Homo-oligomer: A and B are copies of this chain.
């Protein structure tokens, strides 16, 4: 009788073409987080490739990182639960790691069951290059950002709104209302060159967090006032929001279930 496993996964997205498996017919499959993990699971569990379905909570884009992506799969394995993460990790490449592995109820839904998730967007705000974290930040070198104003703007996102104005065209969702539980902007207490944007919400639309980060950075530069956030929410007009910041600054920190 197969059991349902819930895992949390951390990865450095730099060398992955995103989460979702990509196997273009007649070509080499692209290196993806789902693809690498499925390969290991198939070998470890002896499940035929066609029968193993690994489903992730969030299809992170190419270059986007995760500390706590969640995923589920069904398997009939004799490996003791407390050894499962270790057994998987020993076979994974060194830019990804299973952090936890537990059993979930048979009706656990890794996508539909999400109640809250947190992303972090890191902005490196200094003239010099972000040499050591260059694949984990957006480098804003031509303006000194005002993190206090950015945080004022961030507070205005908290609540239940139509977030269509903060989404890329073609997101394909009918319902564009989401609840933002928290949004904060602060300077890193240890590395003052870095500004962190954290956001928690019931869900997001395509590119939402990167567009919200881009809009907050415009506030930080002084191009928008914090009240501009209200305008984007009210009009749902993508063209008046800020730019989509690059993927490498983004990290999926955790996903919570009801």
Contacts of A134 in B (CB 8 A): 12, 94-95
B131 touches A10 (CB 8 A): yes
A128 touches B190 (CB 8 A): no
In the complex, what's the smallest C-beta–C-beta distance from A9 to chain B, in angstroms? Answer: 10
A147 on the B face (CB < 8 A): no
A97 on the B face (CB < 8 A): yes
In the complex, what's the smallest C-beta–C-beta distance from A258 to chain B, in angstroms? Answer: 28
Scan A195-208; emit 1 where CB is below 8 A from any B CB, else 0.
Answer: 00000000000000
A89 touches B10 (CB 8 A): no
Scan A1-36; emit 1 where CB is below 8 A from any B CB, else 0.
Answer: 000000000111000000000000000000000000
Counted per complex, copies of this chain come to 2
The interface residues of chain A, by DSSP majority, are classed as loop
Once bound together, how far apart are the Cα atoms of A89 and B132, in whole Å? 16
B12 touches A89 (CB 8 A): no
A53 on the B face (CB < 8 A): no
In the complex, what's the smallest C-beta–C-beta distance from A188 to chain B, in angstroms? Answer: 10
B128 touches A97 (CB 8 A): yes
Once bound together, how far apart are the Cα atoms of A128 and B9, in whole Å? 12
Partner of A132, one of B12, B99, B128: B12
Partner of A97, one of B89, B131, B136: B131
Contacts of A11 in B (CB 8 A): 131
Scan A50-88; emit 1 where CB is below 8 A from any B CB, else 0.
Answer: 000000000000000000000000000000000000000
Once bound together, how far apart are the Cα atoms of A132 and B65, in whole Å? 10
Chain A residues with CB under 8 Å of chain B are: 10-12, 89, 94-97, 99, 128-129, 131-132, 134, 136, 190
